[in-house]
Structure formats: structure tokens, C-alpha cells
Amino acid sequence: MQAPFYRTLIFFLNISPFYIEYPETKNPTYEDFKAIDSLLDQHPFEKNLEKIYEQEKTLRNIHSQSAFKKGLDPVLKRIDIALNMRLTDGEGQELPSKNLIKINGGGKNLVVSCIGFSKRRPRDLLDNLKKALEDTGFNGYLYYRIGGYPTPRGIELNLCATPYAFKIFLMEEARQLGFDLVLWLDARLSPLRDIKPLFDFMEQYGSLLNLTHTVDASKIFQISQVSIFELTCTRYEKNRALATPVLGLKMSHLGVKNVIDGFYRGCQSGLPFFSCYPEEIFLAALFEKHFPDAGFLNERAPEIWAKLYLYSQSSKTDQKLAVFSKKKQYFFFGVSNEGVDEISKIIFP
């Protein structure tokens, strides 16, 4: 049954609280990226966020700021990551870059990824990804960005503070480069075996989606629940939840096109992204609305789903789990956040 606040909540914003006022451009320069960083430094959207926080406290009957922060800390941390993201190197040592690399024999299959300039995602991760794709026999291309921001439709710089929206924007950019089968990989993941079966799955089913658990209500704002319902007519807790460290899309599929268009509409609102998994919860709703028979691995290829990836949670277990995941024939191993600087030292027997 539809919760009462789904019917009664009135939004007060005409544009996204993450929106940045800036001229639209499909071909941003380094100066454009620096200008966006300057606007991010000034937090032009801070007052709108404060209004949303106040409304959320009212909806949840929370009366103190400390209780609000404590209760919704996972959401606020995700928002902080987005607001602290920068498109240029603050130390001025490296320019934003993008690169399309032929892997082995090349072909129609494309892997996409990106990293920023912070130590949280050192560029060694991309060198490791390229080498691992080569070593496991991948035939296709790798497209990646270091810093900067994808702008395939020209409006993305305005939306770049939207938490984790860059994944879909980068995949849309790949489509405009002429690729149809596009696989997003988190930069922490190392391919351990030939990933062609993943592209075969995408070709057959139009997408490659990884089922995960549904989050509880404490990790998604009620205003986000409302916005998702208004945009998709779905309830987030009833949707098949997604994890997107690995996400595959057949970009020419009508269902995928509708999902991506819906994602852009959600970015212009901004409200669907107030959760601890902002892009994933919203994408799950969009697939339920626009592409309900999309390719979920657990439903159509459980043998792939069970061995898709294994993440390490600590640098102390990185090497051990790398060996284990290779032995058990996982498709990917994910190095721990604290171990990303040592990725080149991990040995995959």
C-alpha cells in the first residue's frame, strides 16, 4: 500500500540541489574543468541541501542535528564524496585525460572505467586493469578517464555533483564513440579470466545486472523514496536491487535507452540520489519501469552470478583473496580500498 507521505509530500525545488550553473558544452576544456572545481569549492548548492535535510528531519520526526547525522550517516557520507570530488589535479601536476586503448585483437566489446586524482583511486589501478585484460585474452577496447568528466549530451558539467552519476554518463559517452556492448568496471577490479561470456550475456539479454540485497529505510531519504516513486511508479524496497561495480549495457536496446533517458531526468531532479547507494537504487527502479525483463545474472546465468567478483575488505587479506578468487575461477578480484596503492604487488598465480 502506498505510504501517506508518497501522496502528500510537496517538493520545493525546481532544479536539482546538486545543479551547477554553467554554460552547457560537449567539448569542455581544462579551463572549464577548473571553473567547475571553483564552483564546487564555493558549494553553490549548500542552502538547497540544508532545506532538504530540514524536510527529511521533519518527515522522520528527528529533532536534533546530531541524531539526524548519526541516523543517516551512510547517506550523508555518499553526498560528501560527491561534493568533494574535483575534476582537476589540485596539485597541478597532471591534466585530465581520456584514452581509448585497443586490447589484443580489438573488436566490438568495450570496457569503461575512470579514476580521480586522489590517492583513493591511484592511476596504477588503470595500468593493472589494462594488463589484466591483455593477460586474460580479452579482445576489445578499454576506454577510461583520469579526472575530468564525461559530457556526451553537453549538460553533464551542470550535473557532475550528482552522486555517482558519472558511471552512466561515461557509458553514454562510449555509445557516442560508436560502441554498443559496454561494460562498466570499478577500477578496483582485476579481471582473472576471459570476460567474453559477460559480453555474450549482454548481447543476448540487453544488459548484465548484478543482484544484491535491498537496503533498509535508514539508508535512503524519504524524499528520495518519493521522488523514485513519482519518476518510476516503483517502490525501492520491492525492486530487484543492483550492485554496479560490474554493469553491462547493450546501448542500442530500447529498454536501455529508456533507462538512460530516465536517469538523466532523475539527475535533473537530484532527489532520487539521496541514499547510501545513489545510482544503484535509482537504476534498479528505472529497470523495473523501462526494462523489466532485463538480464539479471542470478536469474539467467547463476553460474556467472556466483563467481562474478570477490572483494577484499582489508589490505591484510588482499593477497590471500586474490589467490583464492583466481583458484575458484571468479571473473574479477577487487582489491581493498586501503590496498589500492599496492595493486601492482599482488600476485595472481
The domains of the chain are located at 97-300, 310-345
Give the Cα separation of 69 and 225 in Å (integer). Answer: 19
Q: What would the grid cell of residue 135 be?
A: 593477460
**What is the pLDDT at residue 3?**
46
Q: From the CB of residue 107, how many other CB atoms can be counted at a distance below 10 Å?
A: 15
**Beta sheet of 246-250, edge-to-edge order:** 97-103, 140-146, 109-115, 181-185, 246-250, 207-208
**What is the pLDDT at residue 13?**
59
**What is the pLDDT at residue 7?**
43
Of 125, 108, 41, the closest CA to residue 252 belongs to: 108
**Mean pLDDT of successive 10-residue segments in the chain (349 residues)?**
45 79 97 96 84 91 92 92 91 92 98 86 89 98 97 98 97 98 97 98 98 91 95 96 97 98 97 96 98 98 98 96 97 94 88
* Residue 206 CA: distances (Å) to CA of 5, 167, 254: 35, 18, 9
**What is the pLDDT at residue 320?**
97
**What is the pLDDT at residue 122?**
79
Sign of CA dihedral 324, 329, 330, 331: positive
Residue 54 makes CB contacts below 8 A (sequence gap 6+) with: none
Looking only at Cα atoms, what is the longest distance across the chain? 61
**What is the pLDDT at residue 2?**
45
